[in-house]
Amino acid sequence: MSKTIKIFSVWLLLLSFAGQVAAYATQFADSSETLRLHWNTRLIPIAFSTSLIKPNPYIKPDSDITGAVERSLETWEKAANIKFQVSWTDKQSISPTGKSGDGISLVTVAQTTENILLFGDDANVVSARTRVFFNRKGSITEADIVLNPYEQFSTDGLFGTFDFEATLTHEIGHLLGLEHSSISGATMHGQQGKNGVYNLSSFSSRTLAEDDISGIRALYGANSAEEKCCGAISGKLLQATGRPAKEFQVWAEGAESGRVAAGVLTNADGTFRIEGLLAGQYRLYAQDAGRDATKSFSVEELGEVSLGKGKTAVIFKKLKSETKDFDVRYVGFNGQISELAVPINGGKSYLIYVGGKNLDSGKVSIGFNSPYLTVTPKSLINHNYGADVSVISFEVNVAAEIPLGEYSFFIKSKGANTEFAVGSLTVETFINQWNSYRLLTDE
Ligand SMILES: [Zn+2]
């Protein structure tokens, strides 16, 4: 079996959530994107259908569904000033499309006509979907979640199934008003893998990335336990031509840790705003998020920001807009490449793959902003995955004391242009046992 076929087999495993990838982003009530969707109450009612706990073919028997529901809601409650009011109901079907629903925000997995309609033609590529109802003022009045009854869910990492808790946590982000994030490794990232991608359990999205936390705090503020919340960074970017830098990914990382704090995409006029950040020291970057490799620009550092609580830092910048001679599209692990972040653990080393265009181990180097990550010298090698994609791999060494969260690596060409794989390494508590010993000498 050729390597090319291997890639396509990964794509089959790689099922996406609904919608488009758009940064840590909020949903809007209007096309001009001024009315941000959010609940007008801090106590949000949510009803779980008994279809989730009655024996059914869509959920692996003996799964800990009630435990996963509790943990998933708590995960969001800890991050922001919201509480859920939970009930269980025999109701099976969500409200049909229309101006308003029945007022009950339902989570269901029942295979009813109304629920299946929500998936349209995507019934075999999407794990779950959320329909949000809102009024003219942008207040969410109801949000219904359907877990795709053509898929199977579990809570024990069974390969070939979706993780129930990870899926639910992502969909509750939509229920609360969040859109997809462009930060790999964020719970609100638009791609979710089934258990088995990279030969690992897909538990990453059970826990929130700092990016998810910033996003939800932008909508609801932090709960009272968090004293350093919140500040914002806003600004405007222009290309060298003077045109607005539209759809550029702008992200902030902890100046000391190098951990990704939050990222957004710039608007059509080049403006951006990152809210919900803890007071502290951040480094800011901008990178062309365009999918067309031939038109994309090298990353640029926007500077360092000292952010006070309740303050907004402002950055205006004209970018140099240097074009790149390569493109990073995928990361990978265990020989597979995809758009999913790779889960890693502190105190271990891992072989990380990168896929894209014009990637050649002889012409590029790998680096990190985080002092907790280093690359093993001379570990960079080429792989043959066929003509459509160039793939290289390197070994990353992760310091034992690295804080949990999302980290980036960058690829720099000899021509000095650089691209970041933003947040594509996610330090998790669940074990990635596939650490490498091969390149370590004195074990
Ligand atoms: Zn989604």
Q: Is 244 exposed, middle or buried (0-12, 13-18, 19+ CB in 10 A)?
A: middle
Q: Residue 7: its pLDDT value, please?
A: 38
Q: Of the CATH numbers 3.40.50.720, 2.60.40.3080, 2.60.40.10, 2.30.110.10, which one belongs to the domain with range 327-427?
A: 2.60.40.10
Å from CA of 249 to ligand 1 middle = 19
Q: Residue 18: its pLDDT value, please?
A: 33
Q: Of the CATH numbers 1.10.730.10, 3.40.390.10, 2.70.150.10, 3.40.1080.20, which one belongs to the domain with range 20-215?
A: 3.40.390.10
pLDDT band at 57, cuts 50/70/90?
A: very high
pLDDT band at 122, cuts 50/70/90?
A: confident
How large is the average pLDDT for residues 244-266? 96
Å from CA of 5 to ligand 1 middle = 28
State percent of the chain over pLDDT 70. 90
Å from CA of 33 to ligand 1 middle = 19
How large is the average pLDDT for residues 136-158? 95
Å from CA of 189 to ligand 1 middle = 7
Q: Residue 292: its pLDDT value, please?
A: 59
Å from CA of 172 to ligand 1 middle = 9
Q: Residue 20: its pLDDT value, please?
A: 32
Window from 47-51, 135-139, 404-408 with minimum mean pLDDT: 135-139
Q: Residue 10: its pLDDT value, please?
A: 37
Å from CA of 308 to ligand 1 middle = 32
State the Cα–Cα distance between residues 192 and 19, nearest whole angstrom. 12
State the Cα–Cα distance between residues 97 and 114, nearest whole angstrom. 9
How large is the average pLDDT for residues 7-16? 36
Å from CA of 125 to ligand 1 middle = 12
pLDDT band at 24, cuts 50/70/90?
A: low
Å from CA of 18 to ligand 1 middle = 5
Å from CA of 47 to ligand 1 middle = 19
Q: Residue 412: its pLDDT value, please?
A: 95
Å from CA of 129 to ligand 1 middle = 7
Å from CA of 188 to ligand 1 middle = 6
Give yes or no for a contact between 126 and 149, defined as CB atoms under 8 angstroms apart.
no
Q: Residue 356: its pLDDT value, please?
A: 93
Helix (H, G, I), strand (E, B) or coil at 178: strand
Return the number of other C-beta atoms located less than 10 Å from residue 35's C-beta. 16
Same topology, domains 20-215 and 327-427? Answer is no
CATH class of 221-318: mainly beta
Question: For residue 120, is pLDDT > 70?
Answer: yes
Give yes or no for a contact between 239 and 245, defined as CB atoms under 8 angstroms apart.
yes
How large is the average pLDDT for residues 205-217? 97
How large is the average pLDDT for residues 23-50? 82
How confident is the model over 177-199, as pLDDT tens digits? Answer: 999 998 999 999 998 899 999 99
Question: For residue 134, is pLDDT > 70?
Answer: yes
Helix axes 65-79, 210-220, angle to 10 degrees: 70
Which letter does DSSP use for residue 113 in this model? H
Å from CA of 351 to ligand 1 middle = 29
pLDDT band at 33, cuts 50/70/90?
A: low
Å from CA of 288 to ligand 1 middle = 22
Using CA atoms, how far residue 236 sits from 242, 265, 268, 309, in Å, is 12, 11, 10, 22
Å from CA of 101 to ligand 1 middle = 20
Using CA atoms, how far residue 380 sits from 45, 87, 195, 332, in Å, is 51, 53, 28, 14
State the Cα–Cα distance between residues 280 and 289, nearest whole angstrom. 26
Question: For residue 381, is pLDDT > 60?
Answer: yes
Domain boundaries, the chain: 20-215, 221-318, 327-427
How large is the average pLDDT for residues 225-242? 93
Q: Residue 164: its pLDDT value, please?
A: 98
Nearest to 352 by CA among 252, 255, 426: 426
The pTM assigned to this predicted structure is 0.91
Å from CA of 168 to ligand 1 middle = 10
Å from CA of 366 to ligand 1 middle = 31
- Amino acid code (one letter) for 336: Q
Q: Residue 5: its pLDDT value, please?
A: 33
Q: Which residues surround ligand 1, an ion (CB under 5 A)?
A: 17
Which letter does DSSP use for residue 219 in this model? H
Helix axes 65-79, 164-175, angle to 10 degrees: 40
